[in-house]
Amino acid sequence: MKAIIYTKYGPPEVLQLKEVEKPAPKDNEVLVKIHATTVNRTDCGFRKPEYGLIVRLFSGLFRPKKNILGSEFAGEIEAIGKDVKTFKRGDQVFGLSTGHFGTHAEYVCIPEKGSITIKPTPMSYEEAAAVCDGLMLAMTFIRKINFQKSRKILINGASGSIGSACVQLAKYYGANITAVCDTKNIELARSLGAEKIIDYTKDDFTKDDQVYDVVIDAVGKSSYFRCKKLIKPGGVYYSTDLGFLAQNIFLALWTPIFCSKKVKFPIPKDSKKEIVFFKEIIEAGKYKAVIDRRYPLKQIVEATRYVETGQKTGNVVITIL
């Protein structure tokens, strides 16, 4: 099968299209023929890796242990292991392979009990591939919020993959949302559910005169200290980024003890339960995919370069024919 391989850390050019052995499903796995996947911030972070030693402790100190990146997928089940009961050949599926990666390829094996379910009926493969990672990371924060008490939320980076998911999920749970994005994405943020928009190309959102129950930095380009005055006493700051020298992890331990305004840094974890929930809200018309660009697998270097500009809107999809 064709796959994008990398054997060393470095710039996008370390990614190479090669022929590798097609995987065979174990007894409890399904073999998915992938029709679409994505390039996301996690892929880029593990390839560089931008978080240095912290990432290398998981991915390999001197060279990557896993040579095929990619965590999102949508495709068709081609084969099943002998113990699989809930899927059959020909099922159209979508999901995540967060812990093992491997979706920048024509095929991937996924455990039956892993983060996989039947693809939402109204969605194309490309749309289905573009929802799970952003939704999973957004749910890391959203599930921690008590929307009965914390309804006023500011989301920085509201037009990215995670940010656009945060806006839609927060709207689903009844929040009043202020979205921070650039000029070109104002209408998108409004269509996703934001009541108020701050255009960061014109205004510094940290100087806003309102206060919020929750501030979510979905792009990791701000900090707790810059946003502190925006947060109500008892309010919470979330970030998708470790922060300088893992600042946010330290603050998540320190602020609950010593401060009325807290930093929380929950660890992302995907599950079948969440993928099934994502399918439900999509089919109920409460969530939609946001796709910026599409590239064929052979152009993954160009796709990665674009993701690393930090200017993408929503998701960058890779099509595999």
Q: What is the CATH number of domain 2-133+269-319?
A: 3.90.180.10
Burial tier of 214 (Cβ tally within 10 Å: 0-12, 13-18, 19+): buried
Q: Which residue has the tokens 């912290």?
A: 54
Q: What are phi and psi of 178, to 5 degrees?
A: -105, 125
Q: Write down the CATH superfamily of domain 145-264.
A: NAD(P)-binding Rossmann-like Domain (3.40.50.720)
Q: Which residue has the tokens 């899927």?
A: 87
Write down how long the chain is. 321
Contact 35, 137 (CB under 8 A): no
DSSP code of 31? Answer: E
- Give CA–CA dist 239/166, Å, rounded: 12
**Taking Cα atoms as reference points, which of 28, 74, 141, 24 lies closest to residue 289?**
74
Task: Tell me the pTM.
Answer: 0.93
Q: What are phi and psi of 235, to 5 degrees?
A: -80, 175
pLDDT per position in the chain (321 positions), as tens? 999 999 999 999 999 999 999 999 999 999 999 999 999 999 998 998 666 667 777 788 889 999 999 999 999 999 999 999 999 999 999 999 998 999 999 999 999 999 999 999 989 999 999 999 999 999 999 999 999 999 999 999 999 999 999 999 999 999 999 999 999 999 999 999 999 999 999 999 999 999 999 999 999 889 999 999 999 999 999 988 766 546 777 777 777 766 888 888 888 889 999 999 999 999 999 999 999 999 999 999 999 999 999 899 999 999 997
Cα-based angle 66, 75, 141 (whole degrees, multiple of 5): 65
Contact 140, 274 (CB under 8 A): no
Burial tier of 172 (Cβ tally within 10 Å: 0-12, 13-18, 19+): middle
The residue ranges of every structural domain in the chain are 2-133+269-319, 145-264
